[in-house]
Amino acid sequence: MRMLMALCALFAFLTAAGSAQTATATATPLTDSDIQLIRSDVQADKNDIILGTMKFTDTESTAFWPVYRDYSRDPQLITDERIQLIKDYAKDYDTMDDAKAQDMFQRMNKIEGKTQKLRENYWPKFMKALGAKRSAKFYQVDNRINLIINVQLTSAIPLIR
């Protein structure tokens, strides 16, 4: 729950400039150190959820966590792109035209493609660590966490006018 609140706060700040309901409100932009703190909170919460849901044996835990550390570190660049896209959206919200909308759509699709490619690239590593069935369960858990994050994001970002 702490993860969701932190993410909601992050993206509410990033999108406040574009929010139709708060046109007269101002928000202090988050600094890179603020974003890093939120990221570490989110990652700690994700680890707790994974640990509680997967209930690893000692052998699985020993094999899983080194792979997961790499897997969770690699998307940070993708997340940076996503945050920049949201910042750009907030900046351009009032002046959105067809060209900006097309650019943002293409950037969003590229980010989603990179995320899918990352999952595909790590599948063999997780399978080696856990086997296919347990890896599939991990991917279900990971997907659910990401869906929750995406729901929080989309609820904080206003639709294009």
Most confident of 18-22, 30-34, 62-66: 62-66
Q: What is the pLDDT of residues 73-117, one digit of tens each?
A: 877 888 888 888 888 888 888 888 999 999 999 999 999 999 999
Token pair 């994974």 is found at 50
DSSP string for 116-139: HHHHHHHHHHHHHHH-HHHHHHHH
Q: What is the pLDDT of residues 59-84, one digit of tens each?
A: 999 999 999 999 988 778 888 888 88
Cβ–Cβ under 8 Å, residues 2 and 45: yes
User: Tell me, what's the pLDDT at 22?
Assistant: 43
**Domain residue limits, the chain:** 2-156
CA dist 28 to 3, 75, 123, 156, 157, Å?
Answer: 21, 26, 40, 16, 17
User: Tell me, what's the pLDDT at 79?
Assistant: 83
What does the mean pLDDT of the chain come to? 79
Give the Cα separation of 113 and 157 in Å (integer).
Answer: 21
